Structure 1
């Protein structure tokens, strides 16, 4: 018998995925600025002060967004546990570990450790049976990671010296983001990206409130420069609102591993932003590493990531007399 003919492509699928990938590219550009603005804000303010005001700002925006959305304002009873977990992961766990780690380490180390996100998401998705095992996905993730290493070597990774504690804290932040991505997909599938993101970020803000008496530091915030305040505004509005909404939007459309692989484009975007804003020089490693990352992203997008088949129900045999 001859091979069965290939299925015709759905003409509506390409534009839909094109919108998803465009959203992810915007998310990458916003996230690239996060490293620069976070480092700049922490030159004047303690890490936890930056994190706290970032969440207070974004939490207020999401409360207003929920107030304007039609439908339920609060999660249904069965979703409260997952919303609490996701708010904890996105707020106190991810951000506290990331900012305190970044204050002790370097941006290059942070970018390298965050490049492990796609691998962590892929393995977690396999463990949760959200995706099938795919050699093409694994090769794509490995290729993109090599590209990140090459790119960061051109930005001084070999000479960068971050403390072991700082790197461990950033790695814990990465693990929290991996869990946030994989655990968030079922919530997004049920309630949509807008409502799911709003619930999780408001919960994250509520969980950050106990830090307010210790790290609110209103006097330090008021006396900081306009640039430091603008950096907090960027973190609160662009990163915590726009970028988080785009991340969950993409999760509602494609598999978690196809979303996570785009995070490996962030070091290239950060290098370009540093060149444009900080007048840093560009090196050949950016071109080589960038190409490898793009190849890895493309391989991952081409992989089939259908969910594994559901286990067959166990049928008990009847004993005959």
Structure 2
């Protein structure tokens, strides 16, 4: 059990690095190009893992499922995240991302026809209140914040919510590795197409550290975190693992302050704590419910 929890915590730590690197790369690469490079590398790695495990890759027969998942989970979510990080801090983006469980909650009754308990709706209301405080707090926090950037991060949360719920539906036909590889392939295509006319050579300012950041988000923050999380889920169970995803914004804030020297005001921190608390309440399940 302890090993499983350790893997879950490590996975969220690696995922939080995506926000840190995304913020660092904001001036080095346009968001569409960064996303194309990141997921292009990840797709190759995922294909290699499929080959090692001797799994078939129904890239044509399941094109519809892969395309939908790739659009929302790889193209929309990641591109919007990188766009938002161009105008707000990684810490702010990380705290807003705590609203992801709420996005999942909102889409679940419509797409999966599942009944949501009152406790989850209360958690959703708490989280939404926290996001409002967090967004309002940025006006007194720093000139770094941007209402547009915050709204873009909120949209990315909705995209990931759709990806998660649809992934649960399609997961009845596809295993997680195959589904992720297919989404990565089609998501990379969407990202590459979005670069046409939007990316110019003078917008690229790569350095040695920038390349290291690109390598990180393409490997550790993508494939590595994916396997750590899924291995942890297998050990402790999905119900026990769910609340640990709320560590993502916590790690993002900690790393943002330590590595990027970001400043956080009291009201912004309060909004983040309320948002995370609501998300935890939404995703927490009693032992009898797991």
TM-score class, shorter: 0.7 to 0.9
Contact 2:112–2:169 (CA under 8 A) maintained in structure 1: no
Confirm whether residue 32 of structure 1 aligns to residue 32 of structure 2: no
Partners in 2 of 1:160 and 1:74 — Cα distance?
48
Q: In the aligned structure 2, how far is the partner of 1:145 from the partner of 1:305?
A: 28
Matching residue of 1:91: 74
The CA deviation string for residues 145-177 of structure 1, in whole angstroms up to 9 with x for no partner, is 667888x69x96742453343333222222111
Change (3 A) 1:247 1:179: farther
Q: Give the whole-Å Cα distance in 1 for the aligned partners of 2:271 and 2:154.
A: 26
State the partner residue of 2:255. Answer: 273
Q: Is the 8 A contact 1:94 1:176 kept in 2?
A: yes
1:206 and 2:214 aligned: no
Corresponding residue number in structure 2 for 1:133? 116
Higher mean C-alpha displacement, 277-286 vs 48-57: 277-286
C-alpha RMSD of the superposition: 4.0
Q: Match for residue 243 of structure 1?
A: 225
What secondary structure does 2:171 align onto? helix
Q: How has the CA–CA distance of structure 1 residues 305 and 42 changed in structure 2, closer, same or farther, with 3 Å as cutoff?
A: farther
Please report how far the alpha carbon of residue 61 of structure 1 lies from its aligned counterpart in structure 2 after TM superposition: 1.2
User: Which range is displaced more, 85-94 or 242-251?
Assistant: 242-251
Deviation for aligned residue 1:275: 4.2
- Residues 305/102 of structure 1: CA separation in 2 closer, same or farther (3 Å cut): farther
Alpha carbons of structure 1 residues 277 and 48: separation in structure 2 relative to 1, 3 Å: same
Name the one with the larger helix percent.
2
Query: Structure 1 residues 279-288 or 94-103, which shifts more?
Result: 279-288
Q: In 2, distance between residues paired with 1:179 and 1:130? A: 14
Q: Deviations over 1:35-60 (max 9, x none)?
A: 21111112323222322221222122
2:43 to 59, 64, 67: 59
1:173 aligns with 2:156: yes
- Equivalent in the alignment of 2:169: 186
1:228 aligns with 2:210: yes
Stretch moving more, 41-50 or 195-204: 41-50
* Change beyond 3 A, Cα 1:34–1:103: same
Conserved 8 A contact 2:11-2:225: yes
1:264 aligns with 2:246: yes
1:142–1:212 Cα change, 3 Å: closer
In structure 1, how many angstroms separate the alpha carbons of the residues matched to 2:165 and 2:3? 21
> Is the Cα–Cα contact under 8 Å of residues 23 and 246 in structure 1 kept in the other structure?
yes
Q: Is the Cα contact below 8 Å between 1:108 and 1:160 reproduced in 2?
A: no
Indicate conservation of the 8 Å contact 1:117/1:177, yes or no: yes
Determine which structure has more spread, i.e. the larger CA radius of gyration.
1
Q: 1:295 to 1:181 in 2, by over 3 A?
A: closer
TM-score (norm 1): 0.70
Aligned residues: 285
Structure 1 distance, partners of 2:233, 2:92, is: 27
What is the TM-score when the length of structure 2 is the normalising length?
0.77
Pairwise CA distance, 1:135: 2.4
2: CA distance, partners of 1:100 / 1:187: 28
Distance 1:288 1:96 in 2: 25
1:142-161 pair list within 5 angstroms: 142=125, 158-161=140-143
Structure 1 residue 63: deviation in Å?
2.2
Using a 3 Å threshold, how does the CA distance of structure 1 residues 295 and 41 change in structure 2: closer, same or farther? closer
Q: Are 1:49 and 1:215, in contact at CA under 8 Å, matched by a contact in 2? A: no
